């Protein structure tokens, strides 16, 4: 099938899914990448975004995210200079494009007219989402076979943000990876494919994310195979089991860190 990937710049998830699609039977005709800074600063200045994050999530979280963004940007620069070995794994779509010729369009808003025009012009069979904002309106109906999304959490129990953190916080022994249909809600669409991932005592949010991403990128391709063959058996989510999460607070992050430290001592 002819696919378009919607993702964000400077995030590993989009790069992992794009690389998997390039190695699959399906055509990746384009990537539409929403600028990561645009998503953060759509309604606020960067200074306000940072100030709000410091209050809500704490300095440790803000520093770790700033270091992640800087590391991804520097890796891409060093790759172009030949100072870092060739991927995969790729840490951003920009890095993947150094090695693979794929049409890539950067936009300020996936729900904006520019992204919709690109999709209407290229006429994909289906849209694939990885780490995007909530997709609304015309874009949901822009491809004849709709949209599927990669969610790095078990559904419907862990909808929303930071699924890896919340699964560890809740003491789960296994986490989930889910590919689901995209509707107007937040992670509410029918499930197309899913896998479980063991959570070990050594896992933190970052290690669990990496394990899930490796599985999830291949799960997207498996879901596309099912849809193309007509073998899709969508599973409706049970609203009685659904919970939706936002980013954890600084206090919750400190609590989990303390619990992990106590287990290891």
Whole-number Å distance between alpha carbons of 42 and 34: 11
Closest to 115 measured CA to CA, from 8, 1, 228: 8
CB atoms within 10 A of CB 51: 13
For the chain, give the mean pLDDT. 92
- Burial of residue 131 (CB within 10 Å: 0-12, 13-18, 19+) is buried
Question: Among the three residues 145, 160, 182, which one is the final residue of a domain in this structure?
Answer: 145
Question: Among the three residues 125, 145, 165, which one is the final residue of a domain in this structure?
Answer: 145
**81-132 pLDDT tens trace:** 888 877 789 999 999 999 999 999 999 999 999 999 999 999 999 999 999 9
Contact (CB, 8 A) for 212 and 152: yes
CB atoms within 10 A of CB 73: 16
Total length of the chain = 265
Count of domains observed in the chain = 2
Rg (Cα) of the chain, in Å, rounded? 18
Q: Are residues 161 and 227 in the same domain?
A: yes
Q: Are residues 141 and 12 in the same domain?
A: yes
User: How much is the pLDDT for 172?
Assistant: 97
3-class DSSP state for residue 196?
A: strand
Q: Are residues 137 and 183 in the same domain?
A: no
Q: Are residues 9 and 131 in the same domain?
A: yes
- Beta-ladder partners of 130: 150
Q: Are residues 141 and 152 in the same domain?
A: no
Range of the domain at 32: 1-145
Mean pLDDT (whole number) for 213-232: 97
Q: Are residues 11 and 72 in the same domain?
A: yes
- Burial of residue 94 (CB within 10 Å: 0-12, 13-18, 19+) is buried
For the whole model, what pTM was predicted? Answer: 0.92
Q: Are residues 35 and 48 in the same domain?
A: yes
């Amino acid at each position: 099938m002819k696919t378009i990937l919607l993702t964000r710049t400077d995030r590993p998830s989009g790069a992992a899914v794009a690389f998997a699609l390039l190695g699959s039977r399906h055509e990746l005709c384009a990537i539409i990448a929403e600028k990561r800074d645009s998503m953060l600063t759509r309604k606020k200045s960067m200074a306000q975004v940072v100030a709000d994050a410091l209050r809500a999530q704490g300095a440790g979280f803000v520093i770790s995210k700033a270091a992640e963004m800087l590391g991804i940007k520097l890796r891409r620069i060093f790759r172009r200079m030949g100072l870092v070995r060739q991927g995969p794994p790729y840490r951003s779509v920009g890095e993947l494009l150094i090695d693979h010729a794929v049409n890539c369009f950067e936009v300020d808003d996936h729900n904006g007219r520019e992204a919709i025009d690109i999709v209407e012009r290229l006429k994909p069979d289906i849209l694939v989402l990885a780490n995007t904002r909530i997709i609304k309106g015309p874009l949901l109906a822009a491809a004849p076979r709709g949209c599927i999304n990669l969610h790095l959490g078990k559904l419907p129990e862990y909808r929303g943000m930071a699924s890896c953190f919340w699964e560890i916080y809740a003491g789960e022994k296994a986490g989930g990876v889910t590919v689901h249909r995209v509707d107007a809600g937040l992670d509410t669409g029918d499930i197309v494919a899913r896998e479980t991932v063991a959570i070990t005592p050594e896992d933190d949010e970052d290690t669990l994310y990496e394990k899930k991403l490796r599985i999830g990128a291949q799960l997207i391709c498996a879901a596309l195979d099912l849809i193309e063959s007509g073998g899709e058996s969508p599973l409706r989510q049970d609203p009685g089991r659904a919970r939706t999460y936002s980013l954890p607070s600084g206090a919750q992050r400190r609590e989990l860190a303390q619990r992990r430290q106590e287990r290891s001592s």
